[in-house]
Structures are given as structure tokens and as C-alpha cells.
Homo-oligomer: A and B are copies of this chain.
Amino acid sequence: MIKVGIVGATGYTGVELLRLLAPRDDVSIEVVTSREMEGTAVSVLFPNLRGYVDLPFTAPDDEVLARCDVVFFATPHNVAMRSARSLMERGVRIVDLSADFRLKDRAEWEHWYKEPHESPELIEKAVYGLPEVNRDKIRHAQLVAVPGCYPTAVQLGFIPLLEAGLIDPMRLIADAKSGVSGAGRKAAVGSLLAEASESFSAYGVAGHRHLPEISQGLKLAAGSDVGLTFIPHLVPMIRGINATLYAAPVGNVSADDLQALYERRYRDEPFVDVLPKGGLPATRNVKGSNICQLAVHYLSASNTIVVLSVIDNLVKGASGQAVQNMNIMFGCVETSGLHSIALMP
């Protein structure tokens, strides 16, 4: 039985963790913290959990959290970097869904998050929790930094091309689109239904915090510097990310070769589904599931490779991937608790 604590479970990644973990026989949810909601039953805030999670929220308490085998941080950035160390010293393993330990370059982290990093010594220890790249390291990690939602969709899409050296790494374009749950469960005028529905727009054009995270991963895959243009957009829907990726081939490529490359790269991956040639992934295909659906197209007229990548931002883009990491860390079957089929329609 894996004893689990969840810190900061009042947001969407928190309720999604509970949805995925509560039905499991091999997991026991010991504590769910929230300062603001202390004393309220979790199922009052999230009525979908009635009958499944009977705990109240409690204030975070290291003594209690230290009794867990693993603690998930479903918090905004800058919480885990203050709390992880003391728990790790007591032997707790940490799965951090926030951005605190994703960037290996401390200066870059401090540039983008505009504050000093408070646990720089843990940055190196942290394993970037993208199982398709780091599965072996995750197995033994004490601290896993779960990738962001856009970074998951974009990296899984570009990695086969970069690893194979088939594209110009300096001319990468990622046009990404996310449902509104990506903005989190916080009161903000721009996320109101009356503002965000029946509209579509780009945002963060001048710079989005996921840009350095994506670049870091793509550099590792390319083995060289990369030039990435990343433009996120807001889609009037709850869940889902679609990344449309554009790359320039460096030599001759064919649609068949590209298809074979993707199928080979992800053949053994339980949560990456490469569609047959010509496929068109839709975010609805993965709503509520941990799967990343990919398709690769070669447009000969403009000699451009287009990769389409979709995930559920709250599952493969956050809580599902966090559970996948936990499964790897604790020697569970990697797909445990992640079997459920996407809700369609």
C-alpha cells in the first residue's frame, strides 16, 4: 500500500490526482492539505468525489506528511521549493507538479519566475518526469519534476525528429492551443465563461514560462542548441491541448519514413499513440485519459514537416503523468490506475 499525501489539492490538478488515485486498491490517500479550506470535506469542494474521498482538507503539517511514502505537490510554483527538502530528509519521495524543479539552469528559473530559487541544491537531484525520455532515472528518483502541459505535448511531438537529426533545430515552430482549465481553478476575469467562451486568441506571445522548459528538453533531444518559436492560444473548452508543430527537413524525407520513425520511437510507450499515416488527432480522443496522440505529416509542396500532438492537459499534461511517475518510482505496473478510456462524446 502506497501512502500518499497531496499538498494544495484545491486546484484542478489536485482533484484530478484524487480522481485517479482514489479508486486504487494499492494506494491509500492519507492526507490532503489546504490552508484555505482546512476542515472542509474534500467532497464538499469537489462533489464528484462524494463516496470516494471522505477526508477533510487539513493544514499542511510536516509531521503528518512525513508519514507518507510519496507527497504530490499540486501547488503553484514556489511552494515545493520551500517544503520539499525537509520531507526528503525524512525519506519521503516527492512528485512535484509545479514548475519549481523543471529547469536545470537556476538562473533561467530565476529569470522567468522573478524570484530567488530557495532550494538550488535540489535542482540537480530532481529528475524531469517525462517517462518517454527519463524512465530509468525516474525509477530511482526521490524528487520528480512533472513536466508542464505544453512541454509534454510539444516535446513528445518534436523528440523523434530531433533525436534522428532530420530537421533544422534552429527553425522550430510550436503553435499550441489549450483549454481553459490550464489557467487553473482561480477566480480571474479572463477565464470566465462569459469572457473565454465563443472566442479564440493567442496569449503570452512576448514570452511564456513554458518556453525555456520546452527548449531545455528539445536541446537534449537534439544534442545542440535549438531555436523555438512558441505561441500559446486559449481555446473555449475545458480540457485539452493541441500542439501543431512545424519543422524544416535537413535532407530528403518521405511521409513513410517519418511514419516509421514515430512508430518505432514510441512502440513500447503505453501512453503515446501514433496514429496511422494521415491521422488527425483531436483533443476529444484523449479527454480524461493519459494518452498523447500523435500524427506526423510531410507537406511536400512547402517541404515542411507538420506534427500534430494532443493530450489532456490535466492528465498526461499534469496529474496522470504524475501518477505514471509514481507508478514507475514504486515499481507498480506503469499503467496502474490510468486505464480509463477517454470520455467520448
CB contacts (< 8 Å) of A238 on chain B: these are 193-194, 197-198, 345
Q: Is A273 an interface residue (CB 8 A)?
A: yes
Contact between chains at A201 and B283 (CB < 8 Å): yes
Do A187 and B185 form a contact, CB below 8 Å, given A197-B238, A282-B47, A287-B343? no
Count chain A residues whose beta carbon lies closer than 8 angstroms to a beta carbon of B. Answer: 86
Q: Which residue of B lies closest to A196 (CB)?
A: B193
One of B48, B196, B248, B345 near A289 (C-beta < 8 A): B48
Contact between chains at A177 and B177 (CB < 8 Å): yes
Contact between chains at A236 and B233 (CB < 8 Å): no
Q: Is A237 an interface residue (CB 8 A)?
A: yes
Q: Which residue of B lies closest to A242 (CB)?
A: B200
Do A280 and B50 form a contact, CB below 8 Å, given A186-B189, A192-B187, A306-B231? no
Q: In chain A, residues 79-108, which have Cβ atoms closer than 8 Å to a Cβ of chain B? A: none
One of B19, B200, B302, B308 near A235 (C-beta < 8 A): B200
Q: Is A228 an interface residue (CB 8 A)?
A: yes
One of B47, B237, B288, B301 near A200 (C-beta < 8 A): B237
Task: Indicate with 1 or 0, residue by residue over A274-317, a CB within 8 angstroms of chain B CB atoms.
Answer: 01001011111111110001000101011110101010000000
Do A198 and B47 form a contact, CB below 8 Å, given A206-B278, A244-B175? no
Q: Is A39 an interface residue (CB 8 A)?
A: no
Chosen A-B contacts, 15 in total, with CB atoms closer than 8 Å, are A15-B344, A48-B344, A173-B246, A175-B246, A183-B194, A186-B189, A193-B193, A193-B196, A199-B282, A200-B282, A200-B310, A205-B308, A235-B235, A238-B345, A288-B288
Q: What's the Cα separation between A206 and B306 when bound, in Å?
A: 10
Do A345 and B203 form a contact, CB below 8 Å, given A197-B238, A198-B240, A236-B235? no
Q: Which residue of B lies closest to A203 (CB)?
A: B280
Q: Is A180 an interface residue (CB 8 A)?
A: yes
Q: Which of A202, A244, A246 has the most CB of B within 10 A?
A: A202
Q: Which of A55-63, A70-78, A159-167, A334-342 contacts B (4 or more CB under 8 A)?
A: A334-342
**Which A residues lie at the B interface, using CB under 8 A?**
12, 15, 18-19, 22-23, 46-52, 171, 173, 175, 177, 179-181, 183, 185-189, 191-203, 205-206, 227-229, 231, 233, 235-240, 242, 244, 246, 248, 273, 275, 278, 280-289, 293, 297, 299, 301-304, 306, 308, 310, 339-345
Question: Nearest Cβ distance between residue A336 and chain B, in whole angstroms?
Answer: 13
Do A197 and B197 form a contact, CB below 8 Å, given A48-B285, A185-B189, A297-B205? yes
Question: Nearest Cβ distance between residue A54 and chain B, in whole angstroms?
Answer: 13
Q: What's the Cα separation between A283 and B293 when bound, in Å?
A: 28
CB contacts (< 8 Å) of A197 on chain B: these are 193, 197, 237-238
Contact between chains at B192 and A180 (CB < 8 Å): yes
